[in-house]
Amino acid sequence: MSSVPYTYETSTLMDGVVALGVHAFPQDALGDDTVVIEPHYIGICRADVKEVIGSRDVMGDRGPLFGHELVGTVSFSGAGTGLQKGDVVTLNPNITPTRTTGFAEYVFVHGTKEVLEQAVIRVPEPEIQNSIWMPEPFACIVHALRKFLELTNLPSLAGKKVGIIGAGCAGLMFAMYARHLGASVSVFNRGEMRRTFAREREILTEDEIHSLEDAKAHQNEFDAVIVAPTVSSTDILETAAAMAADEAVLLVYGGTRKGDSFPLGQRDVDAIRREERIESAVHNGKRLGISGAYGCSKEDYEEGYRLHARHPHEFPLERLASRQIGLDDFPALIMGMATGAEDYPGKVLIGIGAQR
């Protein structure tokens, strides 16, 4: 770094409370194995909110997710990192727990060159800073559908009818990618706000977005049902199973916790999701596959960049951004989201470098 600051602003999450504070800049941390990123934009993910509430199981191998969706510039790269000062990068939070939160003016990531190559990923689109979208959640969607094709031995989704539960960021990106892979999509969302958002932003057509209540009118209809709400509860999995045709496959993507099962007491859906397996089950006389996907890899980011660059009309990821705030307003906003007092469709972004 040309001039190392004495202090920097960073958020902390402690005992369910998010605070922003000025902390000493850890000058000792600038070693050969360190990359320092100055975020331009950070996205708020539902997983961040869950960590505030304490309703998410944190995996030891990758650590907490709080503040993991970001696009920023490398402002310091240690000699052994393989990165360069000035590189525009994003994070893959699935690789190492030795990183600090993205809800900050600086993010510190430590690791070997091999680890950092997977964890700190260059963004090939310079224009992303003016037309912002979040590579990490899209890479997870790319990963999940590629894994689904692999587990089901399908070359594509051509001609398939895909039902999606949840029109949050995940559900809308699943709709984009499933359509790209040849499927017809129907997205079912509980509340009106996200349905209106999907229509008004022209992410989904009138025929593609439905109330979750309407799922009852679509029983036995879908070749695949993607379960992408905040939590893959038993109720929602029951709805997904009812929507599925005989021999259809469910893709469990929304949150699960240790011990969750579906059909109740039969299949360990938390393990299926985290270990990315497919298992068969018979439920109400119907033969179903139950599959899962979890996280993403560098290749999924690269495929995400390729899809966005080559097919911008099919992947209007920028339209997911619904609101932009500054870092100062972040603690109150996420605490409001945690209590349920505030809710926004699409993606809320925090502009940091963009504010300077």
Ligand X SMILES: NC(=O)c1ccc[n+]([C@@H]2O[C@H](COP(=O)([O-])OP(=O)(O)OC[C@H]3O[C@@H](n4cnc5c(N)ncnc54)[C@H](OP(=O)(O)O)[C@@H]3O)[C@@H](O)[C@H]2O)c1
Under the rule (CB under 6 A), what is the footprint of ligand X? 45-47, 140, 166-171, 189-191, 193-194, 212, 228-230, 236, 253-255, 293-295
Strand, coil or helix: 305? helix
**For the range 61-66, what are the long-range contacts, defined as Cβ-Cβ under 8 Å and sequence gap of 24 or more?**
61/97, 62/93, 62/94, 62/95, 62/96, 62/97, 62/295, 63/93, 63/96, 63/97, 63/98, 63/99, 64/13, 64/97, 64/101, 65/93, 66/13, 66/101, 66/103
How far apart, in whole angstroms, are the C-alpha atoms of residue 20 and residue 329?
9
Cβ at position 12, least distance to ligand X in Å: 22
Nearer to ligand X, 163 or 166 (CB): 166
Q: Could you tell me if 66 and 101 are in contact, meaning their C-beta atoms sit under 8 angstroms apart?
A: yes
CB of 143 to ligand X, least distance (A): 7
**Tokens encoding 265:** 């007491």
Compare residues 129 and 297 and give the one whose CB is closer to ligand X. Answer: 297
**Amino acid identity at 186:** S
Q: Which residue is nearest to ligand X (CB)?
A: 168
Q: Which is nearer to ligand X, 212 or 248 (CB)?
A: 212
Outline where 181-245 has alpha helix (H). Answer: 192-200, 234-243
Q: Which is nearer to ligand X, 12 or 55 (CB)?
A: 55
The smaller minimum CB distance to ligand X, of residues 110 and 143, is found at 143
Give least dist CB 197 to ligand X, A.
Answer: 9
Please identify, using beta-carbon distances, which residue of 65 and 327 lies nearer to ligand X. 65
Q: Is 164 helix (H, G, I), strand (E, B) or coil?
A: strand
- Min separation Cβ 168 and ligand X, Å: 2
Q: How far is the CB of 46 from ligand X (least distance, A)?
A: 4
Closest contact distance (angstroms) between CB of 175 and ligand X is 11
